[in-house]
Structures are given as structure tokens and as C-alpha cells.
Amino acid sequence: MATGTLNQYIQTVERMFRLAEGDELARLLSLRDAHVTNRNLRSSDIASLVEGNCVAPLDELIICHLLCVKAICEKEYSEAYSHQSQCVVTIVKILQNQKEQNWCLPLMYTVCLDLRLVAQKAETIQSNGKILEKAAESLLSCFRVCAADNRTSDEDTKRLGMLYLVNQLLKVYFRINKLHLCKPLIRAIDSSPLWYQFPLAQQITYRYFVGRKAMFDSDYRMADEYLSFAFQKCHRRSHKNKRLILTYLIPVKMLLGYMPTRNLLQKYDLLQFWDLTSVVKNGDLRGIDRIMEMHETFFISAGIYLIVEKLKIIAYRNLFRKVYLAENTHQIEIASFQAALQIMGQEDVDSDETLCIVANLIYLGKIKGYMSYQHKKVVVSKQNAFPPLSTL
């Protein structure tokens, strides 16, 4: 439809609607299809030309879509967002009118994805997150319709569209940094009996975002499980996506005591983590500061700077383990730990700070033992004083 008249376009859209051809209808109403370049569809009076020429509420959808196309061509992105938002309102009407059938889900997917993309474009002008917040509200209206369709058979239920919408919402919430709004959505999906009926690509996207959220919530076991699923199931040719997943999975694995190999990091161009791996292993605190400063831009842009900083806890544990092995006793002077910290670049650390660091490591289970404040000693377990991180 890159060529053709407005009437031909309307007739084609209506025919696909009557034939319940969801995929083809989605293509004809997508902002990423070739028809958007067709100048014949950008009339100055679209509403009067379309209204009454096809069945309602499809005519509303066509009008809003073509007005959105026109606004995008004129680079009026806020106006384009407004029209695309109306498209979603019309989609909600269509979904509510269709009982016990879900052939319209591909159309809903397309319109909702386009809404998010237009909202992001409009945000480049306004950039305060308000447009994306409104977009999320529109997406939620579709989600509610899908979630409420619980009396239809599993093959025809609109609930099969829930995961796609949740993924779009997760992308919005991560972008505007409102992760607390993800909780009810995650609960809805995790309690859904349809998990194995959702397409694998949607499962991967969901696990990736929920894994990232778990990482920010310091639930590293869950983050490891979800991000590992996303990485393993992601298509081997999707190099860019696999690299993106690894950007978060690697620091999570490191916090759990699993260090990446150089071959893996080289394959996915993530050698920033290789230098970090060696200094964490050696308990080199000065080295961690140097590498974090060297790769600061990368860690901040990926949103993992604070997570990477938590690797200092592992470095402290590894450094103190060296002290324990060197002293070869289960009663270690706090002064020994303090000296080790000073050698590793923390010259101004005092005994109280050292006590705090050791107390934190004992609390986290990274050292098995207790502290004798009276004698300024740490008494560690005679068996397995420094348990392997992977067992914690």
C-alpha cells in the first residue's frame, strides 16, 4: 500500500477486519509499514473522507492512524502521540466488543508498540516523563481488558496478550525510573496459568526486565535465575541482545562468586569486566577504584555503577581471607585486617571502620565467626571460616 488511493486503503483495511485477519490488519495500521510514505493518505480533511465509509469503530481507528501518520511526517510528535493514544482507546472498544475471540491481538500489539515509540519520540522534545506516564495508562487500559477475559477458552482468550503488554509497560517504567509500578504486573504474570503458552520471545523479554529489577532489589539469586534464562534462551544470532543481558548477568554472577572467563567477555565485547574480575579476586581495593573510574561512563550508562561498587564487599572478603591464611590462626587481630586495608590503598582507615567492615561481612555470612570487642580480635570458625560465595 505504498501507492494507491485513500478509498482503496480504507476498503483493504475494512476487508481484513471483516475477514478477521489480525496480522494483516496490524500491518495496515502500523506506523512502521510502507503505506506511511503514501502521500495520498495524508489528506487535509481525513475525518470527513473516512467517516461513514466503513464500519464503526474501525473508521475512528483509521482516522486517528492517518492523522498520526500526517503529524509524524510534519515532525509534530506531541500531536502524533495524541492521535496514537486515541487509536489505543478505539482498540479497547474493539476488544470489548469481540466476545470469545482474540484474532485482534496482533493489531493491539502493533498499536501499543507504536504508542510507546511515539511517546518516546515526543519525550525527546518535552523530556519530563509525563508523556510516557500517560502512555503507560493507555497500555494499562488494554491490559485490564485482556486480564478480565477469564471465561473464554485458553485458545481464544485475550489473556494471551497480557505478557506482551506487561513487557511494553516494563520498558516504560524502566525508562521513567518507576520500578515500584512493576510489582502488580509481575504478580499478574507469575500467577498466570498461561505462562507456557506465551511466545518464547516474550518470555525472554519478561525475564530480562524482571531479572534486572531483582538485581536492583538486591535479590541476586532471582536475578541470576531470570537473567540466565533470558541469556540461554535468546537466539544465538542475537548478539546485541545477548550482550545486553550479560551486562547485568555478569555483575550478578560475580556477586554470587562466579567469575566470567576471558573468552566469554571477548566474544561479547565486555572486557571492562575482565580487569574488574582480577582485582576483585585479589582483594585489590585500590584496583577496583581505578577500574571503576576508567570505565565509569560504561557502568553509569548501563545503570550498573552501584551494583559494580557492591563488588567491594567480595574484595573485602577475599582480602581478609588472605590475612586469615597468612596468620594461620582462628583468632585474628583487628590490627591485621586494618594493616591489609591500608596496604590496599585505604591509608586513612581506622580500627572502628575496620570493625564495621568485618561486622558487615559476618552479618552477610561471608565470614563465619564473631568479634571480641574487648580483645579487638575476630574469632573465626575452625571449619570453613570463609564459605565459598556460591554456597551463600
User: What tens digit of pLDDT does each residue of 36-86 get?
Assistant: 898 888 777 777 777 777 888 888 999 899 999 999 999 999 999 999 999
**pLDDT number for residue 1:** 54
CATH number, domain 281-391, options 1.10.10.10, 2.60.120.10, 3.20.20.140, 3.30.460.90: 1.10.10.10
With H, G, I as helix, E, B as strand and everything else as coil, classify residue 100.
Answer: coil
List of residues 6+ apart from 65 with CB closer than 8 A: 29, 31, 83, 84, 87
Handedness of CA 202, 200, 187, 225 (dihedral sign): negative
Whole-number Å distance between alpha carbons of 263 and 266 = 5
Give the count of beta carbons closer than 10 Å to the beta carbon of residue 102: 21
Q: Which of 7, 22, 99 is nearest to 54 (CA)?
A: 7
**What fold does the segment set 1-195 form as a domain?**
1.25.40
With H, G, I as helix, E, B as strand and everything else as coil, classify residue 111.
Answer: helix
- Answer yes or no: are the C-beta atoms of 141 and 108 closer than 8 Å: no
Give the chain's mean pLDDT. Answer: 90
**pLDDT number for residue 242:** 95
Q: Mean of the pLDDT values across residues 92-102?
A: 90
pTM: 0.89
List of residues 6+ apart from 122 with CB closer than 8 A: 77, 78, 80, 81, 131
Read off the pLDDT band of 108 (50, 70, 90): very high
pLDDT digits (tens, 9 = 90+) for 282-341: 888 888 889 999 999 999 998 899 888 889 899 988 898 998 889 888 888 888 888 988
The pairs formed by 377-386 with CB atoms below 8 angstroms and a separation of 24 or more are: 377/331, 377/332, 377/333, 377/334, 378/331, 378/332, 378/334, 378/337, 379/330, 379/331, 380/324, 380/330, 380/331, 380/332, 381/330, 382/330, 385/324, 385/330, 386/317, 386/320, 386/321, 386/324
**pLDDT number for residue 2:** 59
Whole-number Å distance between alpha carbons of 103 and 109 = 11
Q: Domain boundaries in the chain?
A: 1-195, 281-391
- Answer yes or no: are the C-beta atoms of 288 and 341 closer than 8 Å: no
CA 153 vs CA 156, 203, 243: distances in Å: 5, 21, 39
**pLDDT number for residue 175:** 92
> Is the confidence at residue 92, as pLDDT, over 90?
yes
